[in-house]
Amino acid sequence: MSNYSQKIFYVILGIFCISFGINAQKLITIPIETSQNALVFQTDKDNRLGTVFFGKKLVQSSDYGFISKEYKINDENSGIFNSVYTPSGTWNLVEPAIEVKHADGNSSLELKYVSHEVKKIDDNVSETVIVLKDPVYALEVRLFYKVYYKENVIEQWSVIKHQEAKNITLQKYASANLYFMADDYYLNHYHGGWAKEMKPEETKLTAGIKTLDSKLGTRANLFQPPTFMLSFDKPATEDAGKVLLGTLAWSGNFKIDFELDTYHNLRLLAGINSHASEYSLASNQDFKTPSFIFTFSENGKGEASRNMHNWARKYRILDGEGSRLTLLNNWEATYFDFDEAKLTELFKDGKKLGVDMFLLDDGWFANKYPRNGDVAGLGDWQENRKKLPNGIGYLVKEATKAGIKFGIWVEPEMVNPKSELYEKHLDWVIREPQRPEHYFRNQLPLDLSNPEVQDFVYGVIDNLFTKNPEISFIKWDCNAVVYNAHSAYLEKKGLPQTHLYVEYVRGLYKVLEKIRAKYPKVPMMLCSGGGGRVDYEALKYFTEFWVSDNTDPLERVFMQWEYSYFYPAIAQCNHITDWSKVGIKYRTDVAMMGKMGYDIVVSHLSEKELQFSQQALANYKKISDVVWHGDLYRLKNPWENPYASLMFSNATQDHAVMFSYLTTNRYDGVYSVTPVKLKGLDPKKKYKIQEINVYPDAKSSIAKDLVYSGDYLMNIGLNPDITLRRTSVVLELTEVK
């Protein structure tokens, strides 16, 4: 064909396409698949990228390309409802993922698909990066989707960058913007407060926006954590229904919006809370958002949570597949009232009990304003000479002599106004100089946006380890929220005060990063006056977290149950304390479903209580591998039954443990009437069942040497024989060959 006839051919083809409505442009389809699920994006005729599918993956991935044609949504504007990263200031009328003010003061933004690539990280992990650009302003957003294939987990975040002449202002910058299509949506979210963590609530989403958020700054999850379960069509149960488990990996203010649009589709936007947090971004600087992490299952909450656990242990929690130390903590045993002699006795008590480590809590430091209560001393990290004249080094030696490891409590981000640190470095404190100070537990947070403060906080830990390399454990506490959010450092640097909430958290991560570079392995407990700061970014640096100061075992059954949807047992610190007067057996059995520890006065235990506890610790050593690394199955929900039952089963299904706890004392429900069907066993295997943690002199009502097949146990079940006299029961299942 000559050039001339070629041109004529294409002109005719063009006319043909236009007249017959054929869109010559090829739509780009981007499937992001895990072993079971798919998240699929597609460009539209204007090259905007939208979500066209989320759910169980199709057998043939080429079919994803057809999905969008099945939706007959006519409203012009709705074309942007499913945007993968909804811009604002142009034609969008719904909640945006990003809002910016350009260098010239203009607030309009449009994002068009430019390219994408898939990087294979290893056999299980891959990363899809999508580039979107504004056709008018030099601004680009890169969307990252990291896929953990086997675990069915997707971790997503975004990076915003521009090349405008001056700084732009980011007014909103979400991590994730997802779109779901289902008959209905049920949101299971959480609320609480000190000693009341993880109170669940399930609600059917109605038109409009439901928001989960935090504006507390430091212990951001105190009232509400960034974790939720979202069921599609109808509320998912433990083993049935479509459910997404999601969480934001960020230890600061967050905002998660669920917007039900006019088509009854659900828009999800998750990220840092933009409240008081406009960010001024220099040209060519990357703004990386935190990760939004989610998993999806068509088989209920149980499978979804096991996905999350598998991922967290393998890829996120520090030493998630390792082991943990049992411990004796002195907080509730002594509070601030101790000295060397008392502590030395406690080391011996810990050894007698049989724990691996002694954990010295709050009150060991400060001299000018001694830390004898929570009103003074925080910030002055020198040993209190009166209580500890020979310093921490002496304690470490004494503990070693007693045959027990030594761990220590710190709260390095905080300061009491009654402290030398406050007197010397007022400019390091988050406070509004023109206004009266407000305290939360008599203290204020230090300004971690300031590199000098970062060095100070790092120094608290580094000094402890440098002087006492044998320290085996750190409990890192954080008890105050941010009031009067003002930073003297940002002011001095001429930076906007609205950077504070973001830079505080980034500063914290810098410190933790540095600590882990030098001390990669030392176990650290993440504590925030209980569970006020638990998230999957912090858990990169911590081996475990303190669930709650509330250690009443009955409360704990519920609390630990709820946390267990998101975090594996190996990360949950459960201590046996004297908070409640319930018998030691119940307290111990409840603590065993996670990482067990004690916070009691051992010398106050009766002979039988001590004997029981020693035996329980020996039992824990035998079953901890299953609890820490096994699969969790929830069998009887305490919100729906008079007792809770759950079990852990190891990967080879030859060892399992079942825990059951009575949760009522009402006449109507004081015993387990029917058998509880077990899960996660091999139907073909035979299991010997043995009750453990039997109280001295008590007789187990479970016949010794019972052997059942997995098939029987999963289809008929086993009655743990929960009664008012047997309020908690632990059964160990071992394969017999």
**Which positions are catalytic?**
477, 549
Instruction: Return the structure tokens found at 557.
Output: 């059954």
Question: Annotation-wise, does 75 bind a ligand?
Answer: no
617 half-sphere exposure, CB direction, 13 A CA radius: 21
711 belongs to an annotated ligand binding site: no
Restricted to residues 353-372, the positions that interact with ligand DGJ (CB under 6 A) are 361-362
Q: Are 547 and 573 in contact (CB under 8 A)?
A: yes
C-beta of 361 vs 398, nearer to ligand DGJ: 361
Considering the complex, what minimum distance in angstroms separates the CB of residue 198 from ligand DGJ?
15
Question: What's the min distance (Å) between Cβ of 475 and ligand DGJ?
Answer: 6
Q: At closest approach, how far in Å is the CB of 410 from ligand DGJ?
A: 10
Cβ 575 to ligand DGJ shortest distance, Å: 9
Q: What angle do CA 320, 322, 324 make, to 5 degrees?
A: 95
By CB under 6 A, tell whether 477 contacts ligand DGJ: yes
DSSP string for 214-257: ---SSSTTSS--SEEEEEESS---SSSBEEEEEEEE-SS-EEEE
Q: Pseudo-torsion of CA 497, 498, 499, 504, nearest 10°?
A: 80
H-helix or E-strand spanning residue 160: strand 153-162
List the alpha helices (DSSP H) in 577-709: 584-591, 607-629
Q: Known binder of ligand: residue 479?
A: yes
Task: Quickly list DSSP for 21-64.
Answer: T---SPPPEEEEE-SSEEEEEEE-TTS-EEEEEEEEPPSSGGGG
Taking the alpha carbons of 652, 654, 655, 661 in that order, is the dihedral positive or negative? positive
* Least spacing, CB of residue 479 vs ligand DGJ, in Å: 6
> Which residue's CB is nearer to ligand DGJ, number 453 or number 527?
527
In the chain the first and final C-alpha atoms are separated, in Å, by: 79
Nearer to ligand DGJ among residue 332 and residue 654 (C-beta)? 332
For residue 710, the surrounding DSSP H or E stretch is helix 710-715
**In the structure encoding, which two tokens stand for residue 724, read together?**
């008012």
By CB under 6 A, the residues from 576 to 635 that bind ligand DGJ are none
Binding to ligand DGJ, residues 653-692 (CB under 6 A): none
The torsion of the CA quartet 490, 493, 498, 500, rounded to 10 degrees, works out to -30
Is 361:375 a contact under the CB 8 Å cutoff? no
The contact mask relative to ligand DGJ for 381-420 (x = CB under 6 A, - = no) is ----------------------------x-----------
**Nearer residue to ligand DGJ within complex by CB, 54 or 331:** 331
Q: Among residues 296 and 409, whose Cβ is nearest to ligand DGJ? A: 409
Which residues on adjacent β-strands are paired with residue 148? 125, 153
Among positions 506-535, residues that touch ligand DGJ (CB under 6 A) are 527, 529-530
Quick one: tokens of 281? Answer: 């971004």
Closer by beta carbon to ligand DGJ, 409 or else 648:
409
Of 247 and 443, which has the nearer Cβ to ligand DGJ?
Answer: 443
CB of 406 vs ligand DGJ, minimal distance in Å? 16
Residue with tokens 């454990």: 473
- Residue 361, annotated ligand binder? yes
Phi, psi of 71 (to 5 degrees): -95, 120
475 is in an annotated binding site: yes
Site for ligand DGJ in 544-563 (CB under 6 A): 546, 549
Is residue 441 marked as binding? yes
Indicate the SS3 state at residue 723.
coil
Residue 549 is assigned to a ligand binding site: yes
Least Å from the CB of residue 362 to ligand DGJ: 4
Q: How far is the CB of 331 from ligand DGJ (least distance, A)?
A: 5
State yes or no: 74 annotated in a binding site: no
Q: Is 194 within any annotated ligand binding site?
A: yes
Total residues at interface with ligand DGJ (CB under 6 A): 11
Nearer to ligand DGJ, 381 or 409 (CB): 409
| Rounded CA separation 647/241 (Å) | 21
Comparing every residue's Cβ against ligand DGJ, the nearest one is: 362
Closer to ligand DGJ by CB, 294 or 331: give it.
331
Q: For residue 98, which of 170, 178, 164 has the smallest C-alpha distance?
A: 170
Q: In angstroms, what is the minimal distance from the CB of 294 to ligand DGJ?
A: 29
Inter-residue contact 381 to 477 (CB < 8 Å): no
Partners of 50 in the β-ladder: 42, 83
Alpha carbon dihedral 385, 386, 387, 391, in 10-degree steps, equals 20
Q: Are strands 595-599 and 327-329 parallel, antiparallel or unpaired?
A: parallel
- Residue numbering of the annotated binding site for substrate: 194, 361-362, 441, 475-479, 527, 549
Chain contacts with ligand DGJ (rule: CB under 6 A):
331, 361-362, 409, 477, 479, 527, 529-530, 546, 549
- Residue numbering of the annotated binding site: 194, 361-362, 441, 475-479, 527, 549
